[in-house]
Amino acid sequence: MPKLNGRVPRYRRHKRSGQAIVTLNGRDHYLGPHGSQTSVSEYDRLVAEWLASGRRLEQAEANSPTLTTNQIIHAFWEHAQTHYRRPDGTPTSELGNFRQALRPLRRLYGASSAMQFGPKALKAVREHMVSVGWCRSNINKQISRIKSVFRWAVENEMIPAEIHHALLAVRGLQRGRTIAREPDAVKPVPENQIIAIKPFVSRQVWALIQLQLLSGARAGELVGLRGVDLKTSEAIWTVEPEQHKTAHFGCIKRIYFGPQAQKILQLFLSDRPLDQHLFSAKEAAEEHRHIRNSLRKTPASCGNGPGTNRQNLPERTPRSCYTVASYRRAVERACDKAFPPPETLARRRVKSLSGLRWESVAEWKSRLGPDDWAKLRSWRMANRWHPHQLRHNAATQIRKEFGIEFARIILGHRSASITEIYAELDDRKAVSIMQKIG
């Protein structure tokens, strides 16, 4: 189970008025003269009622005109941190999605009354999302999440149901009828771009890349793989991950590993216990240090050994397994090394008191200016790829050779229409047909 925050809001003194004060869900409550028995009793009563109502405002306060949007957001966030979790207690990615959706809502209407938040206000939040450059499909999803926050507030009797019903009247942005940009289509990664990053990634990351190409699995279904999860009794190995995209719907996902994928997995199965993660970021960091040590030019008796100059209490340490985010960052860094930007846009070394150092991102951005910085971002977009695209590679190859129905089974989709998104149409078949009939 997730750990809940056991802290209770403090009994404090308001310097200007001399009264006792406590803050509950973002709202200050004055309790009377600081230090008096009356203020202490009032503090005990308010905190007890607040805890009994699930660390949120009581109903009488919630339906008052003074209830702000920020107070609803705070109450919902406490609920979301417990609700959006996997069976093992780890948070899902939906928390990050809600954080992104609620940021413009707080900026524009956080301090205003929640009772006055209506369709026009929601459309103003949507226009703000358009102005900052979010794509149309992402805006529609985030607006739906904001509606769900107010639906939760209605469910918990914090606001009248009429507010949520009014927000439902706001329709999503339609293609071709809005100035919001359309999302870029996710396409397979060219083979030469995949091979180019091999010298710049660890053997663990390269194994994950190959497994995605061979199995069509999502990155999140492979990074936490352990030997005990594999079913190796049949010719084709399988795994049914507990954590996957549709697990909360009760769906079972099965990943298949053929002979080529099995050879890759056997390299990591032979040297560790079955309950240990196969692809360890900590192990990759240790191997990287030993490789650098083997390439050193100074004698072994001079200088530091592998790992001896590390901080005692580093801010971040490698985990026992890769996460989707760390896997993606490893691929992005490798892309930057395999496809460096032009010299005029590249990061430079600058003088420092101890010699030379890499310029900071702020210095880099200031030196390039807005126009060249935009060129650098365009260069990165053209030469970077992310692991999710590998699923499109696998889907395209399977569909090309065996048809869309087999691609649907391998990818784990319930509908072939979803597989259409992942499997690129084979233009060569269309060309060959037209050469015969046209």
416 has pLDDT over 70:
no
Predicted local confidence at residue 15, as pLDDT: 84
Taking residues 418-423, report their average pLDDT.
59
Taking residues 229-243, report their average pLDDT.
85
pLDDT in tens, 290-316: 888 888 888 877 777 776 766 777 777
Q: Residue 318: helix, strand or coil by DSSP?
A: coil
Let me know if 105 is exposed, middle or buried by CB neighbors in 10 A (0-12, 13-18, 19+).
buried
| Rounded Cα gap, residues 148 and 164, in angstroms | 9
List the chain domain ranges: 12-167, 347-383, 388-437
Predicted local confidence at residue 288, as pLDDT: 87
Output DSSP code: residue 351: E
Maximum average pLDDT range among 43-47, 204-208, 212-216, 348-352: 204-208
Report in angstroms the alpha-carbon separations of 62 from 67, 73, 88, 331: 6, 12, 33, 47
Is residue 367 within 8 A of residue 185, CB to CB? The reply is: no
Predicted local confidence at residue 24, as pLDDT: 84
Non-local CB neighbours of 68 within 8 Å, separated by 6+ positions = 26, 27, 110, 111, 112, 113, 114
Non-local CB neighbours of 50 within 8 Å, separated by 6+ positions = 9, 24, 25, 56, 57, 58
pLDDT in tens, 259-285: 999 999 999 998 888 889 999 999 998
Output DSSP code: residue 85: B
Q: What's the length of the chain?
A: 438
| Rounded Cα gap, residues 52 and 46, in angstroms | 10
pLDDT in tens, 121-140: 999 999 999 999 899 999 99
pLDDT in tens, 3-19: 455 678 889 888 878 88
| Rounded Cα gap, residues 43 and 29, in angstroms | 9
Mean pLDDT of the chain: 84
pLDDT in tens, 187-205: 889 999 999 999 999 999 9
Taking residues 338-355, report their average pLDDT.
90
| Rounded Cα gap, residues 301 and 309, in angstroms | 15
Taking residues 226-250, report their average pLDDT.
79
Percent of the chain with pLDDT over 70: 86
Q: What is the pTM of this model?
A: 0.71
| Rounded Cα gap, residues 346 and 81, in angstroms | 41
| Rounded Cα gap, residues 245 and 289, in angstroms | 35
Taking residues 75-101, report their average pLDDT.
87
Output DSSP code: residue 12: E
Query: Rg for the chain (alpha carbons), in Å?
Result: 27
